[in-house]
Structure formats: C-alpha cells, structure tokens
C-alpha cells in the first residue's frame, strides 16, 4: 500500500467512524425502551470514537518514523551475505552506507553484484515495511475505535472525554515547542563542551586575544589560534551601548510625545508607521549603515581632526539604535498610556502642570514597564548581526573607542561557520561556545525584563 492510497483510505475511515459513532448514539437516543437519553450530544460520541482512531494511528506512525532506520538496518545486516562482508574493504557500517546509496536501476559498471542484490533487497524492504505499517495502522485504528464505541451508554459523558482530549492536544503542542527549545540548548551545550575540551573555559572567558585561525591540515603553517573572547564581548558591549545611547532617549521621548501630547489622529498615524519601521529587514539597515552613515560619519569626524576607520562601532551602533527606536517607543507608549487616568487627574487636581505630572507621576509609575522595554531592546541589540557585519567589521579589536572597528559575538559566529569547515576543529566549535554565551546572556536579560514587566502589571490590575 502506497502512501497516497493509505491517506485516502484513512480519511474515508475517519469519516466513517465519526458517522458510525454518531448514528449509534442517535439510535440509542431513539430507543425509548432504554428510558433515558445519552448525556452528551450524538456528534460527541462520533468525535470520541474518531479520537480512538487517531490516537493509536498517530502513535504507531510517529514511532515508525523514528525507529524505521534502525529496524531496517537490523534486517539489512541479517541479509548481507557473509562473503560480501569479508570481501569489503572498510568497516561494516560503511558497507551498509554503500548498499543504501546504490540504486539498483542505475548501477556503475563494475559494482559487486552482491551489493546490487542487497541494494535491491533494501529498496523492497523500505517500501514493503511502509505498506505493512500502513496496514497495521488501519487495522489497529479500526479496532480501537470500534472498541471505544462499546462504551457508548447513558453513563458515559463523551463531551467531557472530548474536552479532556482537546486539553491534552494543546498541552502536547506546547510541550513540543518547549522540548525543541531545550533540544537546541542541549545541542549547543554539547558542542560547547567539546570546544572547552580543547580550549580551557577561563582562557575563553577571560582571554584578551581572539584570532580563531587554526591549521586545517597537519602540515599547514598557521598559528595555533587563540580564543580569548574578551575583545568580542567588549565589542558587543560597545555597539550595544552606542545603540542604546541613540535608541533610549529618542525612543522614550517620542513615546512620551505620542502618549501624552500628540492628538489622537497623530498618534493613530504615527504609531503604525513606527511599528512598520521595526519590520524593515536588518540588511537594509545594514547597507544604510555601511554606505550612507559610515562614510558620512568618517568625513564628519575627520573634519574634526580625528581619525576614524570606515567600519566603526559608531556607525553600526548608531544605525542599530535607529532600528531599535520603534521597539522602545512602541512598548513605552503602551506602558505610558496604560497608567490609569485617575493618577493623572490626581496630579492635575493638585495643581501640577502637564510636564510635572509626566515627570513626577506618570514616568515613575511607568518606569518598570519602560525598563522592561529597554531590557528587551538590549537583548535585541546584542543578537543583531547583519548591521554589524556590514558596518562594524570582523576585526576583534579590544578597544573602547567607538571610532574603531570592532566585532560582536553574533558576527563572529557567522564568520566562524561560513565557508569551508572541518566540524571538529576548535575554530568551528568556538561558534557554539559563543552561541551558548549569547543564549545565556539574552535569556537572563529577557527573564529579568519579563519579571519587571509582570511586577508592573500586578500593580495596576
């Protein structure tokens, strides 16, 4: 049985089971001799039996999806003739890979006929096993749904059972999301641990020099590579600081204007525009920074008699700040407008002016929310890559001068992983170490931000 015919039969079966369950319930309801009616609507009994079709089927299919390669491997290994194993140069697992990679219809001349046989066997094994599993799914599903229908009686509340199944489905989906995230983190940790086997943890965290070029071949003349991440961390910090120096004042002041002074019509037009700005792809900001802002700043700074690299933390950070403005202003605007009117009225009734009210009542009341917005914006800035690649360079300079080129964690991850790679060199693994550091820093920032925002919510609700 092929996949498509299975799918069609399965759909038919589903409809049939649902219909069958419903009619069975209807019949019981009509049967006056039974005395009382079923406690739930008939269609719930249909849905209930349908669930008993879907549940075992999906369990079998999911298990098959995960275990198929292993099961097939076992069968394949059993079937390989002994003399083929003996003749094959290389280890047995390579033999299996070769068999799997051979297409019995398009063979290279001179291929061992035993391998061709095994390959053909492998192909039939794959298709046949699928058919058997599909058949199994249909039979098991049918039986379990029919058995479930025996439960239909005046004592059984199908509606509650369906409700429970719904809840479990929702829980299942959210668990999948969480498990995926955890999986990503673990794979990061796993690779990072391999990195720290090569480079000591403290050398990485506190080392002052970053030049990740290691020799790819044994005979290559190259430096050992050094993996001190401090220049990268300071670079990230510097760019983030520049970005925040732009984004916080502008974002906050425009939020105050929008929330407190702008007429409703102005607010209604400006806020969506700001939010659209937040959706501009960062590459666009990146070339804006590299092509327009960078050279402009360079000319300006050299007219002041200072020297500046054409790639600089200032240009990248500045443009990143512009990118983040809508982020801060939109969130802060929400926070400021949600400060209750009664507080404003209270302040005005005391004879305070508008700006006094904003400074002394509204901003303090909104402060936790604003801080939350700023922290979220910071974690955004730390994670930003494109602008920095394009405008701040990839040289890991240890400097606090925003006029020089610096690099950030994300940019280094990109440069480490782009191009020809060897997957267990320290150079490649360093990307995972940086990644896990980035992950934890942004995680902590976000947790802290969420906590603050929550506290703020509690105060007024």
Partner 1 sequence: MKETVKIKSKKLNVFYGEKKALSNINLEIPERKVTSLIGPSGCGKSTFLRCLNRMNDSIEICKVEGQIFVDEQNIYEKNLDPVLLRARIGMVFQKPNPFPKSIFENVAYGPKIHGLANSGDELNNLVEVSLKKAGLYDEVKDRIDEPGTSLSGGQQQRLCIARAIAVSPEVILMDEPCSALDPIATAKIEELIDELSKNYTIVIVTHSMQQAARVSNQTAFFHMGSLIEVGKTEDVFSMPKEKKTQDYITGKIG
By CB under 8 A, name the one of 150, 164, 455, 459 that touches partner 1: 459
Q: Which is nearer to partner 1, 10 or 456 (CB)?
A: 456
- The CB-of-361 to partner 1 minimum distance in angstroms stands at 5
Name 216's Cβ contacts closer than 8 Å, sequence gap at least 6.
222, 420, 422, 425
CA distance 32 to 25: 13
- Mask: binding to partner 1, 301-320, rule CB under 8 A, as x and -? --------------------
By CB under 8 A, name the one of 72, 116, 301, 343 that touches partner 1: 343
By CB under 8 A, name the one of 352, 371, 403, 441 that touches partner 1: 352
Q: Which is nearer to partner 1, 373 or 386 (CB)?
A: 373
350 binds partner 1 (CB under 8 A): yes
Q: Which is nearer to partner 1, 197 or 345 (CB)?
A: 345
CA distance 382 to 436: 13
- Look at residue 331 and give its three-state secondary structure: helix
By CB under 8 A, name the one of 346, 418, 422, 455 that touches partner 1: 346
Q: Which is nearer to partner 1, 345 or 424 (CB)?
A: 345
- Residue 440 CB: number of other CB atoms within 10 A? 12
351 binds partner 1 (CB under 8 A): yes
81 binds partner 1 (CB under 8 A): no
- Look at residue 103 and give its three-state secondary structure: strand
Q: Which is nearer to partner 1, 49 or 347 (CB)?
A: 347
Angle of CA points 448, 205, 427, to nearest 5°: 115
Tokens encoding 396: 């890991």
347 binds partner 1 (CB under 8 A): yes
Q: Which is nearer to partner 1, 2 or 346 (CB)?
A: 346
Q: Which is nearer to partner 1, 219 or 458 (CB)?
A: 458
Interface segment toward partner 1; rule CB under 8 A; list 74-82, 341-349, 415-423, 426-434: 341-349
Q: Are strands 210-211 and 226-227 parallel, antiparallel or unpaired?
A: antiparallel
Strand partners, 226: 211
Q: Which is nearer to partner 1, 95 or 366 (CB)?
A: 366
By CB under 8 A, name the one of 33, 83, 174, 342 that touches partner 1: 342
By CB under 8 A, name the one of 93, 340, 400, 450 that touches partner 1: 340
Q: Are 211 and 223 in contact (CB under 8 A)?
A: yes
Taking Cα atoms as reference points, which of 396, 386, 380 lies closest to residue 235? 396
- Taking CB under 8 A as the criterion, which residues in 21-60 touch partner 1? none
295 binds partner 1 (CB under 8 A): no
Q: DSSP string of 280-314? A: S-HHHHHHIIIIIIHHHHHHHHHHTT----SS-HH
Query: If you ran DSSP here, which 8-state letter would residue 221 be given?
Result: -
Q: Which is nearer to partner 1, 291 or 367 (CB)?
A: 367
Q: Which is nearer to partner 1, 164 or 459 (CB)?
A: 459
- The CB-of-270 to partner 1 minimum distance in angstroms stands at 18
- The CB-of-364 to partner 1 minimum distance in angstroms stands at 7
Q: Which is nearer to partner 1, 279 or 351 (CB)?
A: 351
348 binds partner 1 (CB under 8 A): yes
- The CB-of-343 to partner 1 minimum distance in angstroms stands at 6
Buried b (16+ CB within 10 A) or exposed e, 117-144: bbbebbeebeeeebeebbeebbeebbeb
- Taking CB under 8 A as the criterion, which residues in 434-453 touch partner 1? none
Total length of the chain: 461
Q: Which is nearer to partner 1, 164 or 268 (CB)?
A: 268
Query: If you ran DSSP here, which 8-state letter would residue 154 be given?
Result: T
- The CB-of-344 to partner 1 minimum distance in angstroms stands at 8
C-alpha dihedral, 236 to 242 to 245 to 250, nearest 10°: -110
CA distance 393 to 309: 10
CA distance 107 to 10: 37
CA distance 281 to 384: 11
CA distance to 16, 150, 245, per residue, from 20 (Å): 6, 12, 67
Strand partners, 373: none
- The CB-of-254 to partner 1 minimum distance in angstroms stands at 22
- Mask: binding to partner 1, 355-394, rule CB under 8 A, as x and -? -x---xx--xx-----------------------------
CA distance 434 to 409: 6
- The CB-of-350 to partner 1 minimum distance in angstroms stands at 5
Tokens encoding 280: 């501009």
Interface segment toward partner 1; rule CB under 8 A; list 129-137, 150-158, 282-290, 336-344: 336-344
Rg from Cα positions in the chain:
32
What residues line the site for partner 1 (CB under 8 A)? Answer: 340, 342-353, 356, 360-361, 364-365, 459
């Amino acid at each position: 049985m092929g996949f498509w015919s299975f799918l069609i039969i399965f759909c038919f079966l589903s409809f049939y089971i649902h219909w069958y369950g419903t009619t069975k319930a209807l019949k019981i309801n009509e049967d006056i001799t039974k005395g009382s009616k079923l406690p739930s609507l008939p269609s719930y009994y249909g849905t209930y039996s349908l669930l008993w079709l879907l549940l075992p089927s999906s369990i079998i299919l999911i298990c098959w999806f995960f275990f198929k390669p292993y099961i097939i491997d076992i069968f394949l290994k059993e079937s390989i003739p002994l003399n083929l194993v003996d003749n094959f140069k290389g280890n047995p697992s390579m033999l299996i890979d070769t068999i799997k990679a051979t297409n019995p219809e398009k063979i290279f001349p001179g291929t061992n006929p035993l391998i061709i046989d095994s390959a053909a066997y492998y192909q039939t094994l794959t298709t046949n096993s699928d058919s058997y599993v599909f058949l199994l799914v249909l039979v098991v599903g049918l039986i379990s749904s029919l058995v479930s229908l025996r439960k239909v009686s005046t004592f059984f509340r199908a509606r509650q059972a369906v409700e429970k199944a719904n809840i479990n489905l929702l829980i299942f989906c959210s668990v999948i999301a969480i498990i995926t995230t955890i999986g990503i983190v673990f794979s990061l940790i796993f690779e990072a641990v391999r990195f720290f086997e090569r480079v000591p943890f403290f050398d990485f965290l506190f080392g002052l020099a970053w030049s990740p070029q290691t020799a790819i071949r044994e005979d290559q003349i190259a430096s050992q590579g050094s993996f001190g991440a401090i220049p990268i961390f300071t670079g990230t910090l510097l760019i983030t600081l520049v970005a925040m120096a732009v984004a916080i004042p502008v974002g906050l002041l425009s939020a105050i204007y929008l929330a407190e002074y702008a007429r409703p019509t102005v607010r209604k037009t400006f806020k969506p525009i700001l939010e659209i700005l937040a959706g501009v792809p960062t590459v666009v900001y990146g070339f804006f920074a590299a092509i327009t802002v960078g050279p402009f700043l360079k000319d300006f700074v050299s007219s002041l008699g200072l020297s500046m690299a054409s790639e600089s933390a200032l240009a990248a950070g500045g443009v990143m700040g512009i990118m983040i403005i809508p982020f801060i202003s939109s969130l802060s605007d929400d926070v400021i407008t949600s400060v209750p009117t009664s507080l404003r009225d209270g302040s005005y009734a005391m004879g305070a002016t508008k700006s006094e009210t904003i400074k002394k009542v509204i901003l303090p009341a909104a402060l936790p929310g604003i801080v939350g917005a700023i922290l979220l914006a910071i974690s955004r800035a730390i994670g930003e890559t494109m602008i920095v690649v394009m405008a701040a360079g990839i040289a890991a300079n240890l400097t606090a001068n925003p006029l020089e080129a610096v690099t950030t964690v994300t940019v280094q991850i990109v440069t480490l992983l782009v191009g020809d790679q060897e997957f267990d060199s320290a150079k490649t693994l360093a990307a995972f170490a940086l990644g896990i550091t980035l992950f934890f820093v942004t995680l902590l920032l976000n947790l802290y931000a969420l906590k603050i925002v929550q506290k703020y919510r509690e105060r007024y609700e």
